[in-house]
Amino acid sequence: MSKTLVNIITEDNPIPAYLFIKEKYEVGDRMMYISAKDTEEDLDALSELFNVPATHIDEIVLKNDIDELSYEKICRAVLARLNSETQYCVNLAGGTRYMALAVQQVFEKFNTQFFYVQVEENLIVQSVFDDGIYNNDDLFYPIKYKMSIAEYLRAHEIQHKLLEYDHLPIRSEAEANRLFQLFSQNQLTHHDFEVMEKLRMHYRNRRRINISAIESSTNPNHPAIPHLSTFLRNLHFIPKNNGMLYRDELEYLTGGWFEEYVYYLVKNNIKPDDLALGVKISRAGVRHNNELDVIFTKGNKLFVIECKTGVQTERLFNEIVYKLCAIKEALLGVSCYSYIFSLKKDETNDLKRIADNMGITFVDHAILLTPRKLKQAMANMNALAKNC
């Protein structure tokens, strides 16, 4: 008997359907997508994610927007496409609750197994809807499949450049740790901070700079940084090409080192399924591009960390929070968790309250420098992943 995997399409959360197919699909199976009129485009996007012949995909799309509120029309549309010679595996974790109730009602009359993909718990539940409520026949399966970052983004129709170049640290973990100690223990001089600010303002996006030329520059468009060599010595920073600093090194010196420090924290403490630095994302038809500092997947959730060595004002912090919220709501879906890691001291907890109110976790100076608190913060992230 042939098998058909059935998913109800959800506009803002394609992950349950994606994981259901990844867990249950076998070569030769058919697929059926049930969609309201306003999620028809999401149905097509999901179909394109899998290497399944078009002849093996059945699409049921309600004709009018109002039809998704009509129990009878949903039932009639689905019933007309079913037969008694097929085994159906139906995932009820999609669409509206109303559509799921109607779909369940229709499929109960056929050879059907019912499932519910619970992404938050990283589980698939298999249930029998009958009067036997004391026979404990609900079954729970850990989701074995592990999504990569690229898969998660593609499922949400997000464009990225993950495959164009490595999104890995450019310097060692030991160097990131050393810089963290210098910054967090206030071991840098006033001149050091002046150098970093000038590099950030005037040179961060240059392809490369000559160190001695910059130290003695008389060009008003490229102001001199007379203490640049001293700064590099204070940081024990050895350029990869003597006498030169390249763009990736300039980015590293003006904040990239902290992103790499957080990257290594995640790698060692979370052990993610996939992990990347500096991922640029965009969506067709949307003007703005966004760059995600540290991004990883674990337990089929996406974690995004914005890294800031310092946050000068509460207004700037608000801007960072709103940026993260906008990215999540517009692009990254409901299975995404957002964080801000910063060396900013938040002694009054005002910044933490701002972040909490917007569903963002703020990891500040006190947490980063207190091993017990940092360990707990990492444990909390692992707990959210529900990795089986």
Pick from 90, 117, 145: which residue ends a domain? 145
For the packed helices 173-184 and 257-269, what is the interaxial angle rounded to 10 degrees? Answer: 120
Residues 116-125: tens digit of each pLDDT: 999 999 999 9
pLDDT at 52: 87
Is the four-CA dihedral 255, 312, 233, 265 of positive or negative sign? negative
| Per-residue pLDDT band at 47 (split at 50, 70, 90) | confident
35 lies in the same domain as 132? yes
The SS3 call for residue 33 is strand
129 lies in the same domain as 169? no
134 lies in the same domain as 187? no
Residues 239-257: tens digit of each pLDDT: 999 999 999 999 999 999 9
202 lies in the same domain as 114? no
Q: Please state, rounded to an integer, the average pLDDT across all residues of the chain.
A: 90
Pick from 122, 145, 168: which residue ends a domain? 145
175 lies in the same domain as 58? no
pLDDT at 23: 95
194 lies in the same domain as 341? yes
Range of the domain at 72: 2-145
- Which DSSP string do the residues of 118-163 spell out, in sequence order? ETTTTEEEEE--SS--SS---EEEE------HHHHHHHTT-EE-TT
Dist. CA 138–CA 256, nearest whole Å: 49
Domain total of the chain: 2
What pTM value is reported for the model? Answer: 0.91
**Higher-confidence position of 318 and 65:** 318
pLDDT at 228: 93
Backbone angles phi, psi at 275, to 5 degrees: -150, 135
**CATH number of 127's domain:** 3.40.50.10770
**CATH number of 182's domain:** 3.40.1350.10
Q: Amino acid letter at 250?
A: L
pLDDT at 321: 86
198 lies in the same domain as 228? yes
166 lies in the same domain as 298? yes
Residues 54-89: tens digit of each pLDDT: 889 999 988 877 777 788 999 999 999 999 999 999
Dist. CA 114–CA 129, nearest whole Å: 8
34 lies in the same domain as 128? yes
Residues 170-193: tens digit of each pLDDT: 999 999 999 999 998 888 888 899
28 lies in the same domain as 157? no
Pick from 95, 130, 145: which residue ends a domain? 145
